[in-house]
């Protein structure tokens, strides 16, 4: 039996669905048991993807009318495991199975300054935070980074609402986010030890920010983040998981996570965030044939380098060398 430590399930009806930006859909859900979603919350949805029930998490962009209207923003990911494709197909009147709001990225109170950094669709986790900081009269900056303006959701609306609190970096306009300079400004600015950064975006951006944060000797608890565990060092490819304690092997296809594949095979696994953040799904690695593509933000750099453990929810294995024909394989200790 899979174990999730935090969810309760209900039905939610799609009451609005439209395009927010190129490849980004806005979906407003009206849950059966409404609860206001505070900034930083997400909902989990149970989706039927090609006959398999999968759980996917989406940040709540906006909570209105006491949680009767929860707005999500979903980017269509070409290499997605099917969740975003399914979400983009939802129409008004469709019913989904969903949790109430789950808080995993709370906005603190009492800092002197707040810096919110959104990489691409990561903005969905930060819109409500920025609105809340504005209402509080807090000192905050919202940094938005993306590849092209056309794919950056809420850009105009955020600029209208937050004015000069916003800094926009767009790769194809040659204005790239310089992470080290941004963190350096915080370290050299007023009250660096009382500045909190909230970041949501791809793992590579998160890693760069975390490295800069440590290099500038800023307090680690002041860096908070939420990630999308989808961007790895290698493109997703099929691989095999060997479970000697269970005397079996399980194939993981390109559109399935290791956690999903093990659950489908009836193997008991623990999980919570399913995004590579909490470490609940961590297991010991006994052997690797190929390369491990960790994709989580829970394990330490050393644990990743030595491949002693992995997080089942986001980690993949890859051949690592294009000429190798056999799929990669990992052997796990799973009692
Ligand atoms: S379930 Fe949280 S890291 Fe995998």
The whole-number pLDDT of residue 2 equals 41
Residues 83 and 120 in one domain: no
288's tokens:
């690797």
Q: Would the CB of 96 count as within 6 Å of ligand 1? A: no
State what percent of residues in the chain have pLDDT above 70: 94
Residues 211 and 138 in one domain: yes
Q: Would the CB of 298 count as within 6 Å of ligand 1? A: yes
Q: Tell me, what CATH number does 264's domain have?
A: 3.10.20.30
Cα gap 182→201, rounded to integer Å: 16
**How many other C-beta atoms can be found within 10 angstroms of the C-beta atom of residue 85?**
16
Please report, for residues 38, 114, 304, the alpha-carbon distance to residue 154 in angstroms, rounded to integers and kept in the order given: 19, 20, 35
The whole-number pLDDT of residue 68 equals 97
**How many other C-beta atoms can be found within 10 angstroms of the C-beta atom of residue 28?**
20
- In tens, the pLDDT along 220-270 reads 889 998 766 556 677 778 999 999 999 999 999 887 889 989 998 999 999
pLDDT band with cut points at 50, 70 and 90 for residue 30 = very high
Distance 271 CA to ligand 1 centre (A): 5
Residues 20 and 76 in one domain: yes
Largest CA-CA distance found in the chain, in angstroms, rounded: 60
Residues 99 and 124 in one domain: no
Residues 287 and 308 in one domain: yes
- In tens, the pLDDT along 116-155 reads 999 998 999 999 999 999 999 999 999 999 999 998 988 9
Distance 138 CA to ligand 1 centre (A): 32
Give the strand pairing for 41-49 and 309-311: unpaired
Cα gap 165→180, rounded to integer Å: 20
Q: Tell me, what CATH number does 86's domain have?
A: 2.40.30.10
pLDDT averaged over the chain?
A: 90
Cα gap 319→237, rounded to integer Å: 8
Q: Is the pLDDT of residue 329 over 80?
A: yes
Distance 116 CA to ligand 1 centre (A): 23
Q: Would the CB of 283 count as within 6 Å of ligand 1? A: no
Residues 118 and 195 in one domain: yes
Q: How far is CA 252 from the centre of its chain?
A: 21
> How many domains, in total, are found in the chain?
3
285-318 burial, b at 16+ Cβ within 10 Å, e below that, comes to: beebbbbbbbbbbbbeeebbeeeebbbbbbbbbb
What is the residue with the minimal CA distance to atom 3 of ligand 1? 276
Cα gap 259→270, rounded to integer Å: 9
| Residue 125 backbone dihedrals phi, psi, to 5 degrees | -85, -10
Q: Is the pLDDT of residue 333 over 90?
A: yes
184 CB-contact burial (10 Å; exposed 0-12 / middle 13-18 / buried 19+): middle
Q: Is residue 233 part of a domain?
A: no
User: Among residues 228, 247, 270, which one ends one of the domains?
Assistant: 228
Q: Mean pLDDT over residues 7-19, rounded? A: 92
Residue from 274, 300, 303, 310 whose mutation best tests the ligand 1 pocket (most atoms within 8 A of CB): 274
Contact 212, 187 (CB under 8 A): no
Q: Is residue 284 part of a domain?
A: yes
Ligand 1 closest atom vs CA 272: 1
State what percent of residues in the chain have pLDDT above 90: 66
Distance 142 CA to ligand 1 centre (A): 27
Q: Is residue 234 part of a domain?
A: no
Distance 318 CA to ligand 1 centre (A): 20
Distance 274 CA to ligand 1 centre (A): 4
pLDDT band with cut points at 50, 70 and 90 for residue 158 = very high
Contact 181, 189 (CB under 8 A): no
67's tokens:
């949680």
Q: Would the CB of 274 count as within 6 Å of ligand 1? A: yes
The whole-number pLDDT of residue 300 equals 84
Put the strands of the sheet holding 140-146 in their side by side order. 166-170, 140-146, 113-119, 195-202, 223-228
The whole-number pLDDT of residue 6 equals 46
Ligand 1 closest atom vs CA 276: 3
- In tens, the pLDDT along 61-91 reads 999 999 999 999 999 876 666 788 899 999 9
Cα gap 78→33, rounded to integer Å: 33
Q: Is the pLDDT of residue 4 over 50?
A: no
Q: Would the CB of 272 count as within 6 Å of ligand 1? A: yes
Q: Give the residue with greater pLDDT, 325 vs 24.
A: 24
Which residue intervals of the chain are DSSP H helices?
A: 83-88, 127-136, 155-162, 179-188, 203-215, 258-264, 301-306
Q: Is residue 25 part of a domain?
A: yes
Q: Is the pLDDT of residue 3 over 80?
A: no
Query: What range defines the domain where residue 93 resides?
Result: 3-103
Q: Would the CB of 294 count as within 6 Å of ligand 1? A: no
User: Among residues 169, 195, 228, which one ends one of the domains?
Assistant: 228
Q: Is the pLDDT of residue 272 over 50?
A: yes
96-124 burial, b at 16+ Cβ within 10 Å, e below that, comes to: bebbbbbebbebeeebebbbbbbbbbbbb
Q: Which of 244, 235, 248 is nearest to 328 (CA)?
A: 235
């Amino acid at each position: 039996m899979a174990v999730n430590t935090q969810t309760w399930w209900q039905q939610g009806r799609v009451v609005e669905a439209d395009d927010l930006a190129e490849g980004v859909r806005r979906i407003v859900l009206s849950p059966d048991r409404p609860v206001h979603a505070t900034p930083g919350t997400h909902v989990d949805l149970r989706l039927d993807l090609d006959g398999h029930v999968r759980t996917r998490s989406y940040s709540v962009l906006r909570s209105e009318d006491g949680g009767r209207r929860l707005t999500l923003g979903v980017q269509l990911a070409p290499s997605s495991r099917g969740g975003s494709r399914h979400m983009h197909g939802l129409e008004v009147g469709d019913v989904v199975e969903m949790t109430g709001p789950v808080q995993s990225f709370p906005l603190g109170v009492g800092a002197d300054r707040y810096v919110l950094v959104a990489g691409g669709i990561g903005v969905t986790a930060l819109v409500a935070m920025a609105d809340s900081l504005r209402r509080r009269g807090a000192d905050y900056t919202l940094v938005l980074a993306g590849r092209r303006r056309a794919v950056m959701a809420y850009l105009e609306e955020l600029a209208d609402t937050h004015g000069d609190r916003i800094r926009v970096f767009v790769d194809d306009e040659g204005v790239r986010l310089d992470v080290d300079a941004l963190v350096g400004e915080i370290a050299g600015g007023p009250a660096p030890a009382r500045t909190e950064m909230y970041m949501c975006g791809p793992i590579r951006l998160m890693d760069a920010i975390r490295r800069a944060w440590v290099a500038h000797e800023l307090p680690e608890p002041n860096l908070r983040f939420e990630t999308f565990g989808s961007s790895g060092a290698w493109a997703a490819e099929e691989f095999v998981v060997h479970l000697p304690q269970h005397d079996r092997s399980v194939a993981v296809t390109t559109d399935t996570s290791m956690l999903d594949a093990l659950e489908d095979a009836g193997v008991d696994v623990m999980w919570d965030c399913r995004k590579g953040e909490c470490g609940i799904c961590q297991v010991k690695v006994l052997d690797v044939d190929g390369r491990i593509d960790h994709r989580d933000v829970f394990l330490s750099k050393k644990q990743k380098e030595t491949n002693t453990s992995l997080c089942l929810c986001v980690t993949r294995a890859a051949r690592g060398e294009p000429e190798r024909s056999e799929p990669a394989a990992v052997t796990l200790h799973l009692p």
